[in-house]
Each structure stands twice: as structure tokens, then as C-alpha cells.
């Protein structure tokens, strides 16, 4: 017997047996009385046992009917619960989902994560603030912030995403015009461009010995407050910048940028998702964190393959 085909018959029987009436069951299920009666009859034929005993005072359950009803009521409850949960998912979450992120994470990490989140939770309304400056969640009325660097003392919750490496980059035209750099001290004679988070003192690490750092003082030729402007200045051949590797990886592959001082890299800084929920996080916040981690790992993987 194909048990899957019997499921509708069991649910019809549960309604009839529970109400002790074909008429009331038919009304509840929005079916005709004859259709309900036929379903119960087919069920009895399928299992080869009588479930209902009809008499002048109405109906009663046989011993087999009583036993089956106990099972069918649980089945009906499970079906009702499944649809209630689906309805709950459909209703929630909803409303504004406010977040901030640095420019470095915008294209390849956060926007893809947010796109998938909106598919899974179509009632949320993203409100995005892209800034390389640190934003206060409460003051700016934000739910989440993607934050790079060491955490400040905060009562917000921080979830680790991964670690970011920085590399020196320049346009090919700049490298051809000003020559190669062999040691970190050579940087002082070149046009250096500062990213928003960088100071005049940089810690550099040999890629073969990341536990040992070299301190280098930089006199910057230019400074700007956003990563896109640093990138564009470098692409225009205006100078050298120390930039997140996953951000410039595609440009290094297509040749629009080249590594400078390739045996050295900058500080490896942690990337976090910060949120302001002290109790259990809403489901879309948890899911957003999962997606951000996924896309960060994806871009970091392509970085190593490149």
C-alpha cells in the first residue's frame, strides 16, 4: 500500500471522528458530505478494517478507529504546525534592516550577502550606509556594522568574519616611471597614498615571517577618506598604496595594478560583524552573518587561487 496516498484519507477521517459527524467535518474541510463519506470508505477499504460504526443515534468509533484516531490527531497537529511555521516565516522578519560597512566589503561580500538575504526574507527593507569611518550603532540607528581592525571597548556584540591582509600596489605606469622598490626604506622616496585607516607609522611583515614586524615611517603624498578614491588615485598612476588584498586581487590578475615590494605585506587585521542585540539575535541577523562569512571565505579563496 502506498502510504503517501492515504494521508488525505487519514486527515479526513480524523476530522469526521473528532467531530462525530460527516456534516460538521464536511463544513470544516469545505467539502461535500458525500466526498467526505467516500474518503472514509476508501480508507476502510485500504486498511481492511471498519473504523466507524453507524447507528440510529449517530456514529461511534470501533476499536481500530479509536487507535487510528489517536495517531491521526497527531498527524493533523503536525500538518497544522508546519503551516503555522511557514506562515510565521512569511510574516517575519520585516521592516528596516539598517547596516553600515566599509567600502572594501561592499561589492564582493556584503551586497551579495544582502541580495541572498532579501530572497530568503523578502519583507526586510535594507538601509545601507557605506563609510570607512566607524559608525555608532545606537546613534546612527543601525542594526549591524561590518568592522575592520581591533575592537574598541564596546557593549555591542562582535562576531568574527575572518582576517584581511594588505599589500602594496601601484599602476604599471607608475612602476615603469619611478622604478622598483627593493626594501621598505625605499618607500620614503616614493609618492605614498594613505587609506583612511592608516597612520604615518606602518608595521610591515615579511610574508615568510609574519611573526616579526618592521616599523616604517611614511610621509604621505596624498590622503583621502574613502577606499574607492585611494584605488582610483593608484590606478591613475598617482602613487603607491597599501590596500586589502581581496579588494585589489582582480586588478592584480588583469594587470591594471601590480604588486610593489611583494615580499612584504601590511598588518593582518580582523574583520567582524557587530550587532546591538543583547538577547537572542533575530533570525535574519544570524542568517546575514552566515552569508557574510560565506562570501568573505569565497573571495579569500579566489585570492589564494589567483
In this prediction, residue 75 carries a pLDDT of 77
In this prediction, residue 91 carries a pLDDT of 63
Q: Looking at residues 164-176, what average pLDDT do you find? A: 93
Instruction: Examine the pLDDT at 306 and tell me if it is beyond 50.
Output: no
Rounded to a whole number of angstroms, the CA Rg of the chain reads: 32
> What does the pLDDT look like over 101-113, one tens digit per residue?
999 999 999 999 9
Do 55 and 138 belong to one domain? Answer: no
The Cβ-side half-sphere exposure at 270, using a 13 Å CA radius, reads 10
Let me know the angle formed at the C-alpha of 190 by 189 and 192, rounded to the nearest 5 degrees: 130
Instruction: Examine the pLDDT at 90 and tell me if it is beyond 70.
Output: no
Q: Distance (Å, rounded) from C-alpha 15 to C-alpha 148?
A: 58
| Residue 89 within a domain | no
Q: Looking at residues 85-94, what average pLDDT do you find? A: 68
Of the candidates 264, 274, 276, which has an alpha carbon nearest to the alpha carbon of residue 149? Answer: 274
Task: Enter the DSSP assignment of 245.
Answer: H
| Residue 205 within a domain | yes
| Residue 238 within a domain | yes
Q: Distance (Å, rounded) from C-alpha 276 to C-alpha 301?
A: 30
Q: Which residue has the cell 557593549?
A: 155
* CA distances from residue 97 to 117, 121, 194, 285 in whole angstroms, order as listed: 11, 11, 32, 9
Q: Which three cell numbers stand for residue 277?
A: 542585540
| Residue 86 within a domain | no
Do 143 and 63 belong to one domain? Answer: no
Instruction: Examine the pLDDT at 43 and tell me if it is beyond 70.
Output: yes
Domain finish residue from 35, 57, 81: 81
Do 174 and 137 belong to one domain? Answer: no
Q: Distance (Å, rounded) from C-alpha 288 to C-alpha 205?
A: 33
Do 170 and 239 belong to one domain? Answer: yes
Q: Distance (Å, rounded) from C-alpha 114 to C-alpha 292?
A: 8
Distance from first CA to last CA of the chain, Å, rounded? 57
CATH code: domain of residue 194:
3.40.190.290
In this prediction, residue 89 carries a pLDDT of 60
* CA distances from residue 16 to 24, 79, 81 in whole angstroms, order as listed: 8, 17, 20
Do 153 and 280 belong to one domain? Answer: yes
Q: Are 20 and 59 in contact (CB under 8 A)?
A: yes
CATH code: domain of residue 137:
3.40.190.10
| Residue 87 within a domain | no
Q: Which three cell numbers stand for residue 116?
A: 541572498
| Residue 184 within a domain | yes
Do 55 and 142 belong to one domain? Answer: no
Q: Distance (Å, rounded) from C-alpha 278 to C-alpha 83?
A: 30
The residue segments making up the domain with residue 204 are 166-267
Do 175 and 239 belong to one domain? Answer: yes
Task: Enter the DSSP assignment of 151.
Answer: P
CATH code: domain of residue 16:
1.10.10.10
Do 177 and 41 belong to one domain? Answer: no
Instruction: Examine the pLDDT at 29 and tell me if it is beyond 50.
Output: yes
Q: Which three cell numbers stand for residue 10?
A: 487519514
Is residue 272 helix, strand or coil?
strand
Q: Distance (Å, rounded) from C-alpha 262 to C-alpha 105?
A: 23
- DSSP per residue over 28-96, as a string? HHT--HHHHHHHHHHHHHHHTS--EEEETTEEEE-HHHHHHHHHHHHHHHHHHHHHHHHHHHHH-S-EE
pTM of the model: 0.64
Instruction: Examine the pLDDT at 303 and tell me if it is beyond 60.
Output: no
Report the relative pairing of strands 124-130 and 264-265 from DSSP bridges.
Answer: unpaired
Q: Looking at residues 132-151, what average pLDDT do you find? A: 88
In this prediction, residue 136 carries a pLDDT of 86
Which range of 13-17, 168-172, 251-255 scores highest in mean pLDDT? It is 168-172
> What does the pLDDT look like over 137-146, one tens digit per residue?
888 999 999 9
Amino acid at each position: 500500500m502506498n502510504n503517501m496516498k492515504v494521508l488525505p484519507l487519514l486527515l479526513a477521517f480524523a476530522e469526521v471522528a473528532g467531530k462525530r459527524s460527516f456534516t460538521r467535518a464536511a463544513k470544516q474541510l469545505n467539502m461535500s458530505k458525500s466526498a467526505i463519506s467516500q474518503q472514509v470508505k476508501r480508507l476502510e477499504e485500504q486498511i481492511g478494517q471498519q473504523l466507524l460504526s453507524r447507528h440510529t443515534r449517530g456514529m461511534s468509533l470501533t476499536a481500530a478507529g479509536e487507535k487510528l484516531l489517536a495517531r491521526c490527531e497527531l498527524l493533523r497537529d503536525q500538518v497544522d504546525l508546519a503551516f503555522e511555521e511557514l506562515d510565521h516565516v512569511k510574516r517575519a522578519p520585516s521592516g528596516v534592516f539598517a547596516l553600515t560597512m566599509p567600502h572594501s566589503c561592499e561589492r564582493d561580500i556584503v551586497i551579495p550577502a544582502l541580495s541572498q538575504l532579501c530572497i530568503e526574507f523578502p519583507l526586510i527593507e535594507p538601509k545601507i550606509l557605506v563609510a570607512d569611518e566607524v559608525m555608532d550603532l545606537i546613534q546612527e540607528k543601525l542594526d549591524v556594522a561590518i568592522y575592520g581592525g581591533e575592537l574598541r571597548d564596546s557593549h555591542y556584540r562582535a562576531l568574527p568574519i575572518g582576517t584581511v591582509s594588505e599589500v602594496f600596489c601601484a599602476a604599471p605606469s607608475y612602476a615603469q616611471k619611478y622604478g622598483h622598490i627593493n626594501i621598505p626604506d625605499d618607500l620614503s622616496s616614493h609618492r605614498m597614498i594613505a587609506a583612511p585607516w592608516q597612520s604615518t607609522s606602518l608595521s610591515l611583515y615579511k610574508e615568510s615571517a609574519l611573526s616579526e614586524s618592521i616599523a616604517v615611517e611614511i610621509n604621505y603624498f596624498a590622503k583621502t577618506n574613502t577606499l574607492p578614491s585611494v584605488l582610483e588615485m593608484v590606478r591613475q598612476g598617482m602613487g603607491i598604496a597599501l590596500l586589502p588584498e581581496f579588494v585589489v586581487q582582480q586588478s592584480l590578475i588583469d594587470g591594471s595594478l601590480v604588486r610593489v615590494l611583494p615580499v612584504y605585506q601590511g598588518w593582518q587585521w580582523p574583520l567582524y560583524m557587530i550587532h546591538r542585540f543583547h538577547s537572542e539575535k533575530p533570525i535574519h541577523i544570524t542568517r546575514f552573518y552566515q552569508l557574510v562569512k560565506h562570501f568573505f571565505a569565497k573571495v579569500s579563496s579566489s585570492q589564494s587561487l589567483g
